[in-house]
């Protein structure tokens, strides 16, 4: 059964034990920050997004550490996504398995 978790305090939220929930979102690439081509998906209209693999995560996530392997070159959207922000809280343990 899935139960939505509400009122998560910001102090409980840390990327280090989050398993990079936000890295399962669709990430558009809107400027050139040096993302390697192998991590870029291009649609039929030429729009670029971070490539997602079959497991649902961005291809640039290290599957063991859940850290970004292209941190210095990550897209602007990733840079703007702030730990503890409302968007982060929404992604971070939105549901809990019991
Ligand atoms: S920004 Fe938020 S959702 Fe993304 S990895 Fe960090 S804690 Fe998780
Ligand atoms: S580029 Fe890095 S920070 Fe952005 S979604 Fe992929 S793994 Fe996460």
CA dihedral 56, 50, 95, 80 (to 10 degrees): 170
Report the pocket of ligand 1 as residue ranges, CB < 6 Å: 13, 15, 18, 20-22, 81, 83, 88, 91-92
Quote the percentage of the chain above a pLDDT of 70: 83
Residues 61-98: tens digit of each pLDDT: 999 998 999 999 999 999 999 998 988 988 886 543 32
> pTM value?
0.83
- Residue with the smallest CA separation from ligand 2 atom 5 is 23
Give the pLDDT score at 70. Answer: 98
What is the domain extent for residue 66?
Answer: 2-97
pLDDT of residue 11 exceeding 50:
yes
Is the separation of the CB atoms in 3 and 95 below 8 Å? yes
> Ligand 2: distance of its center to the CA of 98 in Å?
29
Contact 93, 8 (CB under 8 A): yes
- Ligand nearest 23 Cα, by number? 2
Task: Give the list of residues 6+ apart from residue 67 with CB closer than 8 angstroms, or none.
Answer: 20, 61
Provide the greatest CA pair distance for the chain. 43
Q: 27 burial class (0-12, 13-18, 19+ CB within 10 angstroms)? A: buried
Pocket test for ligand 1, best of 67, 91, 93, 94 (most atoms within 8 A of CB): 91
- What is the tens place of the pLDDT at every residue in 27-37? 999 999 999 99
Q: How many structural domains is the chain composed of?
A: 1
């Amino acid at each position: 059964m899935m139960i939505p978790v509400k009122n998560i305090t910001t102090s409980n939220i840390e990327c280090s034990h989050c398993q990079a929930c936000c890295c399962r979102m669709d990430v558009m690439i809107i400027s050139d920050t040096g993302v390697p081509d192998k991590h870029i998906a291009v649609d039929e209209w030429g729009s670029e997004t971070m490539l997602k693999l079959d497991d649902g995560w961005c291809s640039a996530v290290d599957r063991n550490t859940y850290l970004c392997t292209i941190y210095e070159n990550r897209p602007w959207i990733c840079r703007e996504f702030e730990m503890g922000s409302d968007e982060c809280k929404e992604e971070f343990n939105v549901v809990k398995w019991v």
